[in-house]
Amino acid sequence: MGAMSGPYVIRGAVSLPEAELMWRFSRSSGPGGQHVNTSDTQVELRFDLAATESLPEVWKARALERLAGRLADGVVAVRASEHRSQWRNRETAAVRLAALLAEATAPPPKARVKRRVPRGINERRLREKKQRGDTKRGRSGRDW
């Protein structure tokens, strides 16, 4: 098997540390013909988020907080079994883990600054509401 096409970049200069990735292979479900019962194509990739030294502390804290529901003892796991070849499943799993970590370590969005609603817009809204009410009032046949 050839080398992986990594390094899988999380963001900026930070990428997945190859040494800290734990791979596990098992038989995949689904179609595969005669090949299916003999090859371990399903890939489970595990990464110890709590113990890693390769992520900046701020990112690590952010990721631990955001991925709390997905972690088992500080370890995040990603599974891939859609391809028939183990190599392609390894690629998929690594890309998925990198994307997951990129999302989990992203800085929080800037707080929205409240602005006043311009008077003209507010007046137009109220005028349109009034018109609508008049239209609806005109539909009821109680004045006949």
Given a cut of 90, whether residue 18 has pLDDT beyond it is: no
| pLDDT for res 76 | 86
Q: List all residues 6 or more positions away from 30 whose beta carbon is below 8 Å from its beta carbon.
A: 36, 81
Supply the pLDDT for residue 102: 85
Q: Is pLDDT at 37 greater than 60 in this prediction?
A: yes
What number is the average pLDDT over the span 27-56?
A: 78
- Distance between CA atoms of 79 and 89, rounded to whole angstroms? 9
What's the whole-number mean pLDDT along residues 29-58? 78
Give the Cα separation of 41 and 32 in Å (integer): 10
| Residue partners of 25: CB distance under 8 A and separation at least 6 | 40, 41, 42, 43, 44, 86
Give the CA dihedral 11, 13, 17, 21, nearest 10 degrees: 10
Average pLDDT over residues 70-75: 82
Closest CA to 25 of 78, 86, 71, 75: 86
Q: Which amino acid is at 53?
A: E
Task: Give 33 or 39, the one with higher predicted confidence.
Answer: 39
Q: How do residues 106-118 score in pLDDT, each as one tens digit?
A: 888 899 999 998 9
Rounded to two decimals, the pTM is 0.65
**2 has a pLDDT exceeding 50:** no
